Amino acid sequence: MKKFILLAFLIVSTSNVIAQDDLATKAAKITNEMAKVLSLIQDDKATVYEIQLKRFQEVLLIREQYKDDVETRKLELKKVYKRLFGKLKKALDKDKMLQWRDYKRELGRD
């Protein structure tokens, strides 16, 4: 019985670590894309990475917390994306945000 409990704990712990690695990978991917498109300096790139990582962590929590309540989940996710835009707007100048918006529209991701 003790072995089963230990095994269950290890599986849950491992899945959390893997999820965090996945979030970090996603944050790095979008940060690298933004850095390339916007020609970001290293400091801006680090700031954008932190903003994106926190965004992905918030989204994961919201999806877990409201998995049975679709309407609330949608509202909470909208709030996250609005905060994301505000944080990025503070971190980058207006021209870079317009450039990013145009880039996303070209790709059809707006």
Digit-coded pLDDT (tens) for 7-60 = 566 565 554 445 567 999 999 999 999 999 999 999 999 999 999 999 999 999
Percentage helix, strand, coil for the chain under 3-state DSSP, each rounded to 5: 90, 0, 10
Give the percent of the chain with pLDDT over 90. Answer: 75
Range of the domain at 47: 2-107
How many domains does the structure of the chain reveal?
Answer: 1
